[in-house]
């Protein structure tokens, strides 16, 4: 029977039995000289210290000054979550997770874009969308584009990078061509949303789309001049085109316009830059835009790229306003460069 002293001592039962009933190993030190196991020894009291408990005075002062500056900035320029209104963050942790969920599985979205489908159901331009334009993704993208919330670019770029990887598949040496922003929108925002997102994607070394050996961003498209756009939009004449011109001319946006009016407004609105046209001639290109609605903008960008000699294999958008009814697509279905059929269907005679 164990004595109270043995039961409450710091020696384990194995050590007590080994010392009393079994001979110690040859060459091993006795119990008195045995070193304490570092994994069982209690941690010293000074191991964990608060970040403000620096030994150097300058480090303590710098830490306290940074904390004070952060509090003053929060008071002077209060920041709320663009989705739920939580304080101190432009996108709180819960809403950021929801954005990641909405962009976790890219899908093919051209079937819901009338301008990208022929009357017989033939795909004119395959499009991969990172997510559906709804919920937290729609609110974050709107705040990023229209309200100057540039800190949302990182989380949005992650979703765009996954869509680019899904669209590229195993293809290499692809050119990513961003859709250009109009001069009025650039002056109003101070930046181009698509170009900024692509820059963030390229800075992520872990993204396949950001690997310079697989793809490169080529800013080859530009907005055409007003006279060129006016001629292209006014001829051939159509009631939808006349309505689009009457509702604000060529400088207004496309919000609230139907399929025909959107197509008429963007017709002839893009051209390839003269100095960069040889860079895309004969090269496979993927067009990149932020939101897919009717597909008129992507169709116009594809027309301008084909006119410059580029091989348009598909397009990628961050969000699609009309998600598919059934979204059970595998990796092969998400890719826009995997099959020859998609490339052949991507060359409609009426656009060339």
The phi and psi torsions of 154 (rounded to 5 degrees) equal -65, -50
- Nearest residue to 126 via CA among 340, 276, 321: 340
Token pair belonging to 204: 């992520």
pLDDT digit string, tens, across residues 123-176: 999 999 999 999 999 999 999 998 888 889 999 999 999 999 999 988 878 999
Q: Cα separation of 288 and 314, whole Å?
A: 9
pLDDT at 336: 83
3-state SS assignment for residue 251: coil
Q: Cα separation of 245 and 239, whole Å?
A: 10
Token pair belonging to 150: 């540039």
pLDDT at 10: 45
Most confident of 82-91, 223-232, 297-306: 297-306
Q: In which band, very low, low, confident or very high, does the pLDDT at 184 lie, cut at 50, 70 and 90?
A: confident
Q: Considering the entire predicted model, what is its pTM?
A: 0.66
Q: Match domain 103-224+269-351 to its CATH number in 3.30.360, 1.10.10, 3.40.50, 1.20.1530.
A: 3.40.50
3-state SS assignment for residue 208: coil
DSSP string, 169-184: TT--SEEEEEPPPPHH
Q: Cα separation of 207 and 202, whole Å?
A: 8
Q: Cα separation of 167 and 173, whole Å?
A: 13
All structural domains of the chain with their residue ranges: 103-224+269-351
> In terms of pLDDT, which residue wins out, 236 or 335?
335
Token pair belonging to 295: 């597909």
Q: Cα separation of 245 and 268, whole Å?
A: 14
Query: For 130-276, where are the alpha helices, taking DSSP H only?
Result: 135-146, 153-168, 183-189, 193-203, 226-234, 239-246, 259-266
> Which residues lie across from 123 on neighbouring strands?
117
Q: Cα separation of 278 and 343, whole Å?
A: 21
């Amino acid at each position: 029977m164990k004595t109270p002293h043995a039961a409450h001592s710091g020696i384990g039962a194995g050590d007590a039995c080994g010392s009393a009933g079994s001979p110690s190993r040859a060459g091993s030190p006795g119990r008195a000289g045995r070193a304490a196991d570092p994994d069982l020894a209690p941690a010293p009291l000074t191991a964990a210290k608060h970040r403000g408990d620096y030994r150097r005075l300058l480090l303590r002062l710098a830490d306290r000054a940074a904390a004070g500056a952060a509090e003053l900035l929060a008071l002077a320029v209060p920041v709320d979550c663009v989705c739920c209104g939580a304080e101190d963050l432009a996108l709180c942790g819960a809403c950021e997770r929801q954005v990641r969920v909405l962009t976790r599985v890219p899908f093919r979205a051209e079937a819901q874009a009338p301008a990208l489908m022929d009357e017989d159901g033939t795909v004119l331009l395959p499009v991969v969308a990172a997510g559906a334009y709804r919920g937290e993704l729609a609110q974050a993208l709107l705040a990023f584009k229209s309200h100057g919330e540039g800190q949302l670019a990182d989380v949005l770029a992650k979703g765009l990078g996954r869509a680019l990887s899904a669209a590229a598949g195993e293809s290499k040496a692809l050119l990513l061509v961003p859709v250009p922003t109009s001069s009025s929108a650039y002056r109003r925002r101070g930046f181009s949303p698509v170009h900024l997102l692509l820059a963030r994607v390229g800075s992520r070394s872990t993204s396949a789309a950001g690997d310079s050996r697989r793809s490169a961003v080529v800013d080859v498209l530009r907005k055409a001049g007003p006279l060129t756009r006016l001629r292209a939009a006014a001829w051939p004449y159509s009631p939808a085109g006349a309505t689009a011109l009457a509702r604000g001319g060529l400088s207004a946006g496309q919000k609230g316009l139907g399929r025909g009016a959107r197509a008429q407004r963007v017709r002839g609105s893009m051209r390839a830059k003269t100095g960069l046209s040889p860079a895309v001639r004969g090269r496979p290109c993927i067009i990149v835009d932020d939101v897919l609605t009717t597909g008129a903008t992507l169709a116009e960008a594809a027309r301008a790229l084909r006119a410059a000699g580029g091989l348009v294999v598909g397009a990628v958008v961050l969000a699609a306003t009309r998600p598919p009814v059934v979204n059970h697509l595998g990796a092969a279905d998400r890719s826009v460069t995997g099959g020859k059929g998609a490339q052949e269907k991507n060359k409609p005679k009426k656009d060339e």
